[in-house]
Structure 1
């Protein structure tokens, strides 16, 4: 019968845990100048490379999670330790002081440059992953906000229109023109939110690089808000005949004897959804549309 000495096993585990915690605390609390042994000497040999490592350490602290930053610090300590060993070995059997110093400097620079590229690539990759997560969180917030706002606009807009008109005729229901203007507005705004969401999802694709230095939690949220604003702007310009690149199908629909049962009612609805999607998805299309000159027919109208 084998008997395990549980207190001993537990104490070893606790000791390992305490050692890891002590190493973590040491790496977190020490400034970069104290982290690398012999840093002043390295600064005299390869000052620019040391500056690059200091910048990477600061960038890793700002853009990475704590455990990844600690990994970067461990890689940095290893890089300088390997560079020192390589320089000492390469210059050990050289008698001339000048030549020894030159060879040592060259070997130290080679090792540090190679490790600098590896560490920079590591930071860049993990920073991109974290930026993608922030972008995704902003997207979820933007989609949720868009749904809530669209519902609120749908509930409130009808009452506002009726309230503004009721002192004149006392009507409590929307007339056909008001109803279709109300419907087209909601369709276009919803399409703008959908188009911006598609744009954000494409940016979250595996092949698209999200810049980690300029991406925050609000970046995707702001993009969805811009989709709303672009869609609202195009809606007002087309409805107000400021932009006349294509006709508004709702106007032809209202000329029908029974617009609610007309076959074009679905066409006009999807037209405005599509306009909203284009406006929210591609702001360049909006700029081109706004700058489009009016045709001779529209000028004479």
Structure 2
């Protein structure tokens, strides 16, 4: 790359390094990631089909779960083609426009998923704290409006991402130490002043992750207060059980996301492969595990799956 005074030759492509430090193992690492993706597809499509065909599941909680399953289908789909061509075919180049587009969709769908998790917390709050008004508060039209509001928030708040990245000057190395295009990982390759970009990234995280987590925590504090006031142990256990699946999914979704974010910004001396691996786990594992969490803990879903398995077995 040549430089002369204030001018430079800006590259037209980035190089995705995959998982630095584990290059020799990437071919084999692609197999579990591909398997996890296929299981995720099958699990979420099955979940959507069961909820659609089972009238008893046409309730607000499961309508929100449908939205979460759609998120779980789209997020890994944005990245799996890129990951497989890097790991299996060593095709690491990605054009600027494709990289910025991938960044936008990954962060938009992730923001959408976070919003749905907070909406599901509100759903559990109304179900436990205001059970007699549950069906009148969360009507289908209100659920549709909540879904559209969550989607609009994701679209608008992430919209500046590709424009910010496109406005930067990339006169440093063009190798991204990731398996896909992540916002700050791309921005750090720039030789421009990143103050505004970094501040904007922190604002997005604050408005999305911190706001949603605070909302979820406050909601569950109120739920806990209501449950502890219930007169019998049986009712308390039943109320706790209705929240169990959602709490599991919250931990599965936010833990790797927060660890990945903290590693990228603050863990300068950690092994190079740790943060890219966490980023991959964040995108692939929760979408695979979410259908199993609800499938195991929800009687209607479990019975539908077992019934389908018995029917297939009887027809052999």
Higher-Rg member (1/2) = 1
TM-score for both structures, normalised by structure 1 = 0.29
What is the TM-score with the length of structure 2 in the denominator?
0.28
